[in-house]
Amino acid sequence: MKTVDISITRETKTDPLVLVTGAAGFIGSAVVSRLSNLGYQVVAVDALLGGLYPREEKVIKFEQLESLAGVATHKLDLRTDELDSLPSGITHVINEAAMPGLGLSWTDFELYSSCNLSATARLLEAAKAWQVEKFIQISTSSVYGKNAVGDETLPTAPVSPYGATKLAAEHLALAHWRDSGLPVSILRYFSVYGPGQRPDMAYRKFISRALAGLPIDLYGSGEQSRSNTYIDDCAEVTIGALHRSTIGEIYNIAGSEERTINDALAIIEAHLGTKLTINRWESARGDQDRTFGDTGRAQKDLMFSHSVNLEQGLQRQIDWQKTNGL
């Protein structure tokens, strides 16, 4: 058994081979990179679909993953392709694959149901056949609905088809655990941001337009709150969940601060040293009013911690976008 990092406790009988789906995405690529740095063997899978995320940007990320130590990339659509084409010996699964975003989920439900539910169903069946040691199902604060404030006992009440499909995927994963003992744990991410953020996400769009000297489109009053989770912290706790999470348990993965969108805009303005021009619009359909996840369970079980505050994290994202012309 190889040692990769003293902060990660290995409880497996063999060297792990970790399958990461959605590997070319914002969070998936960060998880794969961190796994590689820690010395894991990784099977990185992505369908390289377009949609909200420009396919060209995903292809570049996927090609970058190919050069990482211990990483084997596979272009594969979980909805339709044969999963037996993947390498044998997979011991752990991190299912990051999903169709993200709220707005499009209202107009293309078939896309969201196939990517977020049907693909998950096929992967769960495969994982059962592989007899994996842990299946980490990635979910979202959107399952809670308008006000995602509290711990994991907060009732779920999604207000978008995106949130509904992600909640259905949670139920499906837990059904496999109850039926066959598949060792499933669920992570509900809250507002992940930082270098590498998707181009359709708010902070990336705010910074991009501010750097270009263009007006920023703000939907709603800006007093919507978020418990922003920095990307490095998100990747670290996701990997920790492979070995520390309790089977059948759900974990909130959220930032330590509740900050408004207006707070974030003020931070961006201060970092750039320029006055932002803001166009205000009605709230987006399916948007959340407040998110502030209680992470006590994740801190206790997964040793989850926060490395930066929003000011520091946004400065890093601004630097990344400047460097990459984004």
pLDDT tens, 225-262? 999 999 999 999 999 999 999 999 999 999 999 999 99
pLDDT of residue 6: 28
**Alpha-carbon dihedral sign for residues 246, 248, 249, 253:** positive
Would you state the structure tokens that stand for residue 167, as one six-digit string?
């909640």
Is 110 domain-assigned? yes
Is 319 domain-assigned? no
* Counted domains in the chain: 1
Alpha-helical runs (H) found in 94-140: 103-107, 109-113, 119-130
Is 239 domain-assigned? yes
Q: What is the CA radius of gyration of the chain?
A: 19
Tens of pLDDT, residue by residue over 101-128, are 888 888 889 999 999 999 999 999 999 9
Is 325 domain-assigned? no
162 given a catalytic annotation: yes
312-317 average pLDDT score: 98
Tens of pLDDT, residue by residue over 38-74, are 999 999 999 999 777 778 889 999 999 999 999 999 9
Q: How many CB atoms lie within 10 A of CB 153?
A: 8
Task: Supply the range of the domain harboring residue 132.
Answer: 17-193+229-254+287-307
- pLDDT over 70 (residue 3): no
Determine contact, residues 135/124, Cβ cutoff 8 Å. Answer: yes
Is 139 domain-assigned? yes
pLDDT of residue 14: 63
Backbone angles phi, psi at 164, to 5 degrees: -65, -40
Q: What is the CATH number of the domain that holds 245?
A: 3.40.50.720
Is 278 domain-assigned? no
* Nearest to 49, CA basis, from 71, 20, 9, 79: 79
Is 222 domain-assigned? no
Is 219 domain-assigned? no
For tokens 């994991």, the residue is: 152
Q: How many CB atoms lie within 10 A of CB 237?
A: 24
| Number of helices (H), then strands (E), in the chain | 11, 15
Confidence of residue 162 (pLDDT cuts 50, 70, 90): very high
The verdict on pTM exceeding 0.85 is: yes
Average pLDDT for the chain: 94
Tens of pLDDT, residue by residue over 215-235, are 999 999 999 999 999 999 999
Torsion, Cα of 103, 22, 248, 142 (10° steps): -10
pLDDT of residue 50: 77
Confidence of residue 90 (pLDDT cuts 50, 70, 90): very high
Which DSSP state fits 254? -
Determine contact, residues 150/258, Cβ cutoff 8 Å. Answer: no
Mutual angle of helices 202-211 and 310-323, in 10-degree steps: 60
pLDDT of residue 4: 31
Confidence of residue 12 (pLDDT cuts 50, 70, 90): very low
CA distances from 86 to 20, 44, 79, 153 (A): 12, 10, 14, 37
Go through 171-198 and write b for each residue having 16 or more CB atoms within 10 A of its CB, e for each that does not.
ebbbebbeeeebbbbbbbbbbbbbbbbb
pLDDT of residue 11: 42
pLDDT of residue 79: 97
Q: What gap in Å lies between CA 132 and CA 29, rounded to an integer? A: 22
Q: What gap in Å lies between CA 150 and CA 113, rounded to an integer? A: 27
79-90 average pLDDT score: 96
Looking at 40, 112, 144, 162, which residue is catalytic? Answer: 162
Determine contact, residues 139/152, Cβ cutoff 8 Å. Answer: no
